[in-house]
Amino acid sequence: MDKLDILVQAKKIPSLPSVVMKLRQYLNDPEVNFDELAKVIEYDPGLTANVLQLANSAYFGWARSIKSVKEAITRLGTNRIFQMVLCMSVAPLVRKPIKGYGLDSSDLWEHSIAVAICAETIGQELGLEEVEDGFTAGLLHDIGKIVLGTFVEVDDDPIKEIMELDHLSFNEAEMMVLGIDHAEVAAVMLSSWSLPEEVVEAARWHHAPSRCDTRYQQLADVIHVADILCLDMGWGLGVDGLCYKADHAAATRLGIEAPVAELIISKTMSGVEDLKTLFQPRTAGSGAKHEPVGA
Amino acid sequence: MTATRTDSPQAEKHMKTTLVRRGELVVGKSRTQVLEARYLGSCLGLAVFDPQVGVGGLVHCMLPLAEVDPDKARDKPGMFVDTGVEALLQEILAQGGQHPNLVAKMAGGASPRGSEGALGIGSRNEQVMRRILEENNISIAREDVGGTRSRSLYLYLKDGRTMVKYEGKEVEL
């Protein structure tokens, strides 16, 4: 298995559903027609039910008072609606065992939503205006692991061996053994899905934000810090565990200090608890009318 | 750490494992119960046991000090080292534990390499844990803290035995 084979596999992963990309276009339209936007979602009854469920969740919404898609768009904004639909579309991809990284079926999903929430919280707590895509980039930053960990089932033994011998981080060892790491695989996938350049670059440099082009560095810094904090808290620890390098310069550039970092983790914990419940597979006999969100 | 085991706690007959999730604490006396704090990255697991009375508990602390989010600390005291340790000790004493008998063991507090300043959660957790235990006149009998290793910590309420699991290995603490 070499870099070329991996890239071929990465490009074979089906793109996100077309509704995600349609909603993305609406995000950039200041004169968006809410009726038209609502119709895009209402075309799919399952999606509509899930949007309403998320719109009434503690994290995304207004606690059980939103009754229609249009009301959800009006009250929560197009960006929130996009985030919800993105969550539903990404969940089936990452909510499965990622064998090559020793991740159980919920681990990568939990890590992805934790980093998304944490990145958004960093933006809010630090008043960063340019990290609108923090949630999106956080949700997708590790998507490369599904290629290396499931589709090509990379053998992690030589990676771990070289990591220990040469005191490398896990992604550096991936690069040595495979010629590519999960961050670059993610960037290739997100680019082929036509996601914005800053989301692609934040995924590419989430383990080395100081090497990111300065145009996109703030988002890369946010995702790096969010990723480190979420690994610290044990969200999504696999065979790679904590074997990464924290880039303190990213925290310094963002101006983040210890008490703020701890408050961000505390708030992230609340968000993860809210969202995890919504996306948990329902047990038989629960009386649920719909599939779990994102199933 | 003194011995290597290959069998998992779950494999032991009649044992029931209770997961102590992030920010939670569990105290009990059941001789068939095993408490488990899983995926301790920078989080600290503290196991405290009274071998005379047979009562003990485990707390899974995420952050050092409750002052960063007092509302959350009221809701989930186990989330923070300072309120978590106090709550754990109170509950053990409430269930009949005697302070002079208490044996404390801890694991966790790891960090990715280069974690410092705002990102040094693991070492801040460890510092506060040592201070709070000292203030409560409790010495640490055994520990496995720091480094880059993610761990799980188990406490057997049958006899106070504690095990640490990492990278597929399990050792007695």
Q: What domains are there in chain B, each with its CATH number?
A: 4-172 (3.30.1330.200)
Q: Is the CB of A244 less than 8 angstroms away from the CB of B111?
A: no
Output the average pLDDT for chain A. 88
**What DSSP assignment string belongs to A226-266?**
HHHHHHHTTTT--TTTT-SB--HHHHHHHT--HHHHHHHHH
Q: What total number of domains does chain A contain?
A: 1
| Residue-wise pLDDT tens digits, A163-183 | 989 999 999 999 999 999 999
- A271-284 average pLDDT score: 71
Q: Is the pLDDT of residue B7 over 60?
A: no
Q: What is the CATH number of the domain that holds A104?
A: 1.10.3210.10
Q: Which chain B positions have a beta carbon within 8 Å of A267's beta carbon?
A: 69
- B40-48 average pLDDT score: 98
How close is the nearest chain B Cα to the Cα of A71, in Å?
A: 31
In a domain, residue A142? The reply is yes
Domain hosting A152: range is 3-13+95-279
A256 touches chain B (CB under 8 A): yes
User: Which helix (H) or strand (E) segment is B152 a member of?
Assistant: strand B151-156
The pLDDT, as a whole number, for residue B9 is 52
The pLDDT, as a whole number, for residue A122 is 97
The pLDDT, as a whole number, for residue A283 is 45
Q: What phi, psi does B155 have (nearest 5°)?
A: -125, 125
In a domain, residue A167? The reply is yes
Within 10 Å of residue B38's Cβ, how many Cβ atoms?
20
In a domain, residue A64? The reply is no
In a domain, residue A68? The reply is no
3-state secondary structure of B7: coil
In a domain, residue A208? The reply is yes
Share of chain A above pLDDT 70, in %: 93
* Residue A289 pLDDT grade (very low, low, confident, very high; cuts 50, 70, 90): very low
Q: Is the pLDDT of residue B78 over 60?
A: yes
- A31-36 average pLDDT score: 86
In a domain, residue A235? The reply is yes
3-state secondary structure A149-199: HHHCCCCHHHHHHHHHHCCCCHHHHHHHHHCCCHHHHHHHHHHHCCCCHHH
pTM of the model: 0.92
* Residue B36 pLDDT grade (very low, low, confident, very high; cuts 50, 70, 90): very high
Interface size between A and B, measured as CB pairs under 8 A: 110
Instruction: Identify the burial level of B103 via C-beta atoms within 10 angstroms of its C-beta, where 0-12 means exposed, 13-18 middle and 19 or more buried.
Output: middle
Name which of A22, A77, A70, A5 is nearest A42 in CA terms. Answer: A70
Q: Is the CB of A248 less than 8 angstroms away from the CB of B116?
A: yes
How close is the nearest chain A Cα to the Cα of B30, in Å?
A: 28
Name which of A116, A144, A137 is nearest A200 in CA terms. Answer: A137
| Residue-wise pLDDT tens digits, B115-128 | 989 999 999 999 99
| Residue-wise pLDDT tens digits, A185-222 | 999 999 998 899 999 999 999 999 999 999 999 999 99
- A78-100 average pLDDT score: 89
| ipTM of the shown complex | 0.91
Q: Is the pLDDT of residue B103 over 70?
A: yes
- B37-57 average pLDDT score: 97
Q: Is the pLDDT of residue A271 over 50?
A: yes
How close is the nearest chain B Cα to the Cα of A52, in Å?
A: 28
